[in-house]
Structure 1
Amino acid sequence: MRKQKTILLITLSATSIILLNWFPPSYDGSSYSSFFAPTICKNIILTPFPIENPDKNNQIFFIESSPSQRTLKGRLICGFESALNNANLPVKIIFLTKSLKISSPALCSLFDNYYPHKLNVYYADLNELFRDTPIEGITERLDMKSKIINVQISDLMRGALLYKYGGFYLDHDAWSLTDLRGIRNVIVMDNVTTKPTASCEATSREESYVLNQGTIQFEQGSPFMLLYMKLMNEKYRSGLSWGDLGPPLMHEAAATFLGYHQSKPSTPVTTPNLTILPSFKLRLFPSHAVPPPSLVINLKTDVNGSYFDEYIRCSHVLHLTGSEFKSFKVTGNPRRDIYSYMAPKICPITYAAHFTLLNSFCFCKYNVVF
């Protein structure tokens, strides 16, 4: 009898935990259950990325460069949702696989609400994408066994996409905070310490050997992106380190393009074909080291929302590098960490899924093959 009571108690406790996590209240006490519709999604077949692109220069590209990756889930979906909510530009996610498995309720919900008028998902043939660019034929030299091949393919793809079609490229962990229309031919310094003036001007010139390429915009036929791809084609070889085709090479391209002899561009730089923005405009927020550290490390005491607002008040994009890793703590308390403060505002669906068991299941009404 005692054993049966123990089993019953354990069963009831486990059931309670499951139910509480299935549709838990948000931090302010409201329910998230209305975000999800109880219909199981199917895999969807992706169409090739079109040669003719009516959205030239006015679009956002996200890239999934793994040749075997067929799904998207977790915190990274916040990048897509925030772009759909705030950027006022169509969002296009490019895969290398020909089908997409929707395994996250947040992704399901985005399809329910935004496909196809604002959200589209395609697969890209690399040979076709690189055709008529300086990196045409580079696929024959790619070391597909390299541990960093996904990073290298992503660097190559963003160059080709922006050169041939024009628009924004954003990393998955870059959150759109404002309307991004009208921003043209920009890259940003990789510093994170610079504070803007009250009118969002730079307080001093920034100098850095690294330019961040996780949030960039270039117009179709950009002469800067043409130069960048030429350098990628010249520099690529087997055995390159992580990022060798990325920020350092983009910095070299910028120095060459602007005629800097010491390869050290500084901001602000404004030319018709290349603008280097201060770092606070497209704010980088690496999870491993950011001043002030309390923005990343959970605070021991609650703070007012203005504590975080001050950090991003002049930013078009908040780039939370590493936010997908477990080491990036999300408390659920908007007064303790910046993710919990910002996500309910700019990606409420993703945030809701993060705190429920629904993050492991797919429930939505979208089951159309397109």
Structure 2
Amino acid sequence: MSARRTQKLIVLLIVLAILYFFAQNNYLNEDATDPSHEVNNNQQPGSQNSIPSENLCGKTIELPRFPAENVDQNRQIFFVETNVQPKPRGRTICALESAIRIGKMPVKVFFRSSVLTVNHPALCSLVKEFYPHKLSFYTTAIEELFERSPLQGITKRLQWNHPLFLLQLSDLMRAVMLYKYGGFYLDQDVLTLRDLTGIRNSIVTDNITSVPSETCKPMTEERTNLLNQGTMHFDKENPFLLEYLRILNATYRHGMRWIDPGPVTMHLAAQKFLGRRNALSTPLSTPDLTIVPSFVFRLLTLAMTPPPPPMFDVNENGSYFEDYVRCSYVFHLTGLKTKGALVTGNPRHDVYSYFGPKVCPTAISHLKMF
């Protein structure tokens, strides 16, 4: 074999090796999460696929766009995943399951990714039981989501490589979703404890201070400079949300602290909307904006000072857990330290093990993946 033919053969082998490498690692589709699974390409834009839900387990499904005709307007629960390669954890699946079983509204999960791999056994079980009527998944293009809203064009100002980008993007996405479609937004670490259908146009302070009376009425006034966006409901085209989005569009800039686009700006918008100059206090209720006491949407983080109640500590009979959230509709377990706390399966030890069998029995049954 001549040297020229040998060189051509070597070049051909190199090209074939590169093509094989790209195919195996799905480089031709940057949003793909697991090339070893079959991708369902029969998905129609704007609809959940008609393939039986039991056939989706272990597969990578192509996600549709959210439909323009939204039949569940104002009566739906949204979750948002901003990572481009989503891998739902047991605690996220617990949040989804509790919202489906207890919240009494269809749950809709938005992903930046165009595909989702249904390989977690608990998620597979929920898909079999609830997909697509009570649980559905969608992809969204950021620019498309912000169209026809006060945030249209803001993507040009987003810091795509900033370490806080995903946190701030989530703040923007959740507000636009509620403004355009109406419904509840819940963070992925929120446990739903009660039927949410009776709550409208409501948000909560960023405190843990309020203690309810025996009849679940506030006993003291709460003053706050921050409004927590981890749990909130607003109707479609709510005028307060419109005010918030306008202020956010006018003030968003590079270098903002992670809390600025969310809790800080939300409080400023509420002050302007209500014509107040000082810190807001609860309870406060208007037709378009209700600020509920913090015990209604109960918040917990182990990083708080002073230390919070022992949600991950010995609790002999569970009565402490029950009393702490006896008037709460949701329980928001937030913060990196809280997310990393050990879940043992012992209901006398930690809050997930206590409430899990009641609100997310499927998710908690896969404790090793929790």
Equivalence for 2:282:
267
In the comparison of the two structures, how many residue pairs are matched?
317
Where does 1:302-317 land on structure 2 (aligned, <5 Å)? Answer: 302-317=315-330
**CA distance 1:339–1:223, shift in 2 (3 Å):** same
Separation of aligned partners in 1, 2:58 and 2:113: 18
Aligned residue among 135, 139, 148 for 1:119: 135
Long gaps (5+) in structure 2: 1-53
The answer to whether the 8 Å contact 1:82/1:177 transfers is yes
After superposition, the CA RMSD in angstroms is 2.0
Q: CA deviation at 1:294?
A: 4.6
TM-score by length of 2: 0.82
Which of structures 1 and 2 has the bigger CA Rg? 2
Q: CA deviation at 1:292?
A: 6.8
Where does 1:1-370 land on structure 2 (aligned, <5 Å)? Answer: 41-66=58-83, 68-262=84-278, 264-289=279-304, 293-299=308-314, 302-322=315-335, 327-355=340-368, 359=369
Q: CA deviation at 1:323?
A: 7.2
Q: CA deviation at 1:147?
A: 0.8
Separation of aligned partners in 1, 2:81 and 2:305: 26
Q: CA deviation at 1:338?
A: 1.5
Moved more, 274-283 or 138-147: 138-147
Separation of aligned partners in 2, 1:112 and 1:290: 42
Q: CA deviation at 1:172?
A: 0.5
Separation of aligned partners in 2, 1:220 and 1:39: 32
Instruction: Provide, for residues 67-121 of structure 1, a one-character-per-residue CA deviation record: whole Å limited to 9, x for no partner.
Output: x223312312111000011011000000011100123111111111100110000
Separation of aligned partners in 2, 1:291 and 1:207: 18
TM-score by length of 1: 0.82
Q: Please tell me the residue identity of whatever aligns with 2:259.
A: G
Q: CA deviation at 1:326?
A: 6.0
**CA distance 1:342–1:125, shift in 2 (3 Å):** same
Identity %: 47
Instruction: Provide, for residues 195-243 of structure 1, a one-character-per-residue CA deviation record: whole Å limited to 9, x for no partner.
Output: 1000000001100111111000000010011011111111111222212
The alignment partner of 2:261 has SS state of coil
Moved more, 82-91 or 186-195: 186-195
Separation of aligned partners in 2, 1:154 and 1:89: 22
Q: Which has the higher relative contact order, 1 or 2, with Cα contacts under 8 A spaced 6 or more apart?
A: 1
**CA distance 1:325–1:294, shift in 2 (3 Å):** closer
Moved more, 332-341 or 170-179: 332-341
Q: CA deviation at 1:244?
A: 1.4
Separation of aligned partners in 1, 2:344 and 2:161: 38
Q: Please tell me the residue identity of whatever aligns with 1:283.
A: R
Q: CA deviation at 1:138?
A: 0.8
The alignment partner of 1:309 has SS state of helix
Q: CA deviation at 1:62?
A: 0.1
The alignment partner of 2:231 has SS state of strand
Moved more, 151-160 or 198-207: 151-160
The alignment partner of 1:245 has SS state of helix
The answer to whether the 8 Å contact 1:91/1:118 transfers is yes
Separation of aligned partners in 2, 1:261 and 1:293: 30
